[in-house]
Structure 1
Amino acid sequence: MQLTLEHLSFYFHQCENKRLSQHTLKAYRIDLKQFYVFMKNKEMNKQEISSYIHYLNEHFKPKTVKRKLASLHAFFEELVFNEILQDNPMHKIRYKIQEEKTLPRIIQYHQLQDLFRCLNHEHHAFIQRDKAVIELLISTGIRVSELCAIKRKDIDLKDQYLIIYGKNAKERVIYLTDDVCKALKNYELTFYDYIHQQDYFFMNNQYHRLTDQSVRHIINHYTHGYHITPHMFRHTFATMLLEQDVDITYIQKILGHSSITTTSIYAYASLQRQKEIMMHKNPRHLIK
């Protein structure tokens, strides 16, 4: 069987029906169109797909290869489910990718203090929205795409919880602290009429749905001199939980990771921090 554009169109349509984030959909389109170009006029068999994997390993970093193969695996699974393919050819291919171990970049404590100090000293039309966005990022560790996808019906401020639809539309419940609820209530009260005219809870300066890029602009506005990205809030949240001895399996569930392996990078980061403390802040250095 040869891959056709009709196969891709069918799959992309199925993905859109699953409430996948625009970021995920974009990645799937890039990865599968690349696969289509490589496989043009070739049979989708073990030999050709193995050649494609070899091509990826030669041209891309391990993390990128892993993502592209995950996209391919999900594509084949959907074709099998809809009886377009009899079997997933990826199941017949053995491959191993040694992923680079890179430590997640976190926001330093003094940077967080400066950020909240700036938030508390500014007064403009959208300050309540900005406070709610940043409080939610640092207090829940949700992805920026998940924050932008929150709808009014997903938030229960009375019982203090939030329903998040993560990757592959996987649902999870996130409980909210008093500080977060206060920020969300203030935002909702300030923009009540606008919020209740649309499905999505957060809006940009034009009163349309908030986007990933808008969140980056919000953060940049309060972090002069620091390079802080939305995803760094997620890394910081997870690392701080681990440093307070929270079990890593709970962190996995809160973050919505499908595998504990993904969450374990924070354990490695915590160990590296312990090493730095012992090497550079050891009390023995104070004894002369």
Structure 2
Amino acid sequence: MQLTLEHLSFYLNQCENKRLSWHTLKAYRIDLKQFYSFMMNKDMNKREISYYIHYLNHHFKPKTVKRKLASLHAFFEDMVFYEIIQENPMDKIRYKIQEEKTLPRIIQYHQLQDLFHRLDQDQHFFIKRDKAVIELLISTGIRVSELCAIKNEDIYLEEKYLIIYGKNAKERVIFLGEEVYLALKEYEQAFHDRISEQEYFFINNQYHRLTDQSVRHIINRYTDDFHITPHMFRHTFATMLLEQDVDISYIQKILGHSSITTTSIYAYASIQRQKEIMMNKNPRQLIK
């Protein structure tokens, strides 16, 4: 059987119906179009797909290969479900992706202090939105794509919780602490009319849906002398919870990780931090 554009269109339409994030849909679209180009006029069999995996391993980093193969596996599973094919050809292929271990980059405490000090000093028109965005990132550890996808119907301010739809449209409840609740409340009150006109809770400077890139611009406004990405808030949130002895299984649920293996990278990072402190800031070094 050969892959057709109709197969891809059907699958991507199904993904949109599952309320997957814009970021996830974009990744699926890129990955599957690349697979389609490689498989042009070829049969979807074990040998050809193995060649494709070989191609990926020689042209992309392990993390990217892993994502592309996950996209492919999900596509085939859907085709099996709708009886377009009899079985998932990926199930018959053995492969192992040795992903390089990189420690998550976190925001230093003094940088967070500086960031919030600048937020308190700024008086521009959208400052309440900016505060709400940054408070939500550092107080909940949600992904930037999840933040941008929050709809008005997903947020329950008076009850102090919101509904997040993570990867693969997995739903989870996020409870709000006092600081982030107040920031969201002030933003909602300041832009109530504009927000009510939109489907999504966060708006950009043109009063449309906030995007990943818009969030990066917001962060850059207050961190021009040190580099911070939206995902670093997630890393920092998880690491700080671990350093306060929060059980890793709770952190896994809050972050929306399907496997605790993913969350365990923060435990490793915390151990490395302890080692750094003992090596470089040991009180014994002060005794001369």
TM normalised by structure 2 equals 0.98
Q: What residue is the counterpart of 2:235 in the other structure?
A: 235
Please tell me the residue identity of whatever aligns with 1:89: P
Output the CA distance in 2 between the equivalents of 1:265 and 1:141: 15
Secondary structure of 1:270's counterpart equals helix
With structure 1 as the length reference, what TM-score do the two structures score? 0.98
For 1:280 and 1:168, the matched residues in 2 are separated by: 42
Distance of 1:15 and 1:221 partners within structure 2? 34
Matched residue, 2:116: 116
Structure 1 counterpart SS, 2:74: helix
Query: What SS is found at the alignment partner of 1:174?
Result: strand
Equivalent position of 1:128 in the other structure: 128
Query: What letter is aligned with 1:19?
Result: R
User: Within the alignment, does 1:168 sit opposite 2:162 as a pair?
Assistant: no
- Misfit runs of 4+, over 6 Å: none
**Aligned AA for 2:91?**
H
Q: What is the distance in 2 between the residues matched to 1:248 and 1:111? A: 25
How far did residue 9 of structure 1 move? 1.1
- Alignment RMSD (CA, Å): 0.9
What is the one-letter code of the residue matched to 2:136? L
What is the letter of the counterpart of residue 113 of structure 1? Answer: Q
Residue aligning to 1:177: 177
- Consecutive unaligned residues of structure 1, counting only runs of 5 or more, are none
Question: Matched residues, percent identical?
Answer: 82
Which residue matches 1:88?
88
Give the whole-Å Cα distance in 2 for the aligned partners of 1:105 and 1:36.
35
CA distance, structure 2, for counterparts of residue 206 and residue 53 of structure 1? 43
* Paired residues for 1:24-43 under 5 Å: 24-43=24-43
Q: Return the offset for 1:284.
A: 2.1
Distance in 1 (CA, whole Å) between partners of 2:198 and 2:26 is 24
Aligned mates of 1:63, 1:26 — CA distance in 2: 17
Output the CA distance in 2 between the equivalents of 1:157 and 1:16. Answer: 27
* 1:248-263 alignment, distance < 5 Å: 248-263=248-263
- For 2:163, what is the secondary structure of its paired residue? strand
Matched, 1:100 2:103: no
Which residue in 2 is equivalent to 1:150?
150
- C-alpha displacement at 1:234, in angstroms? 0.6
Counterpart mapping for 1:211-226 below 5 A: 211-226=211-226
Deviates more, 1:192-201 or 1:248-257: 192-201
The one-letter code of the counterpart of 2:8 is L
CA distance in structure 2 between the aligned counterparts of 1:40 and 1:188, rounded to whole angstroms: 50
Amino acid at match of 1:280: N
* C-alpha distance in 1 between matches for 2:109 and 2:285: 24
What residue number does 1:71 align with? 71
- State the alpha-carbon separation in 2 of the partners of residues 151 and 36 from structure 1: 33
Q: Which residue of 2 aligns with 1:58?
A: 58
Question: What CA distance in whole angstroms lies between the structure 1 residues aligned with 2:58 and 2:130?
Answer: 43
Where structure 2 has 5 or more consecutive residues not aligned to the other structure, the ranges are none
TM superposition shift of 1:45: 1.1
| Inter-partner Cα distance in structure 2 for 1:21 and 1:65 | 20
CA drift at 1:52 = 1.1
Counterpart check, 1:200 vs 2:194: no
Q: Give the CA deviation at 1:42.
A: 1.4
Alpha-carbon offset, residue 261 of structure 1:
1.3
Deviation at 1:41, TM superposition (A): 1.5
Amino acid at match of 2:59: H
3-state secondary structure, aligned to 1:86? coil
How many Å separate the matches in 1 of 2:58 and 2:125?
51
SS in 2 for 1:209: coil
> What secondary structure does 2:3 align onto?
coil
Q: How far off its partner does 1:32 sit?
A: 1.0
Which one-letter code corresponds to 1:172 in the other structure? R
- For 1:94-121, what per-residue CA distance to the aligned partner results, in whole angstroms no more than 9, with x for missing partners? 1111100001111100000000000001
Q: Across the two proteins, how many residue pairs are aligned to each other?
A: 288
Secondary structure of residue in 2 paired with 1:72: helix
- Please report how far the alpha carbon of residue 287 of structure 1 lies from its aligned counterpart in structure 2 after TM superposition: 2.4
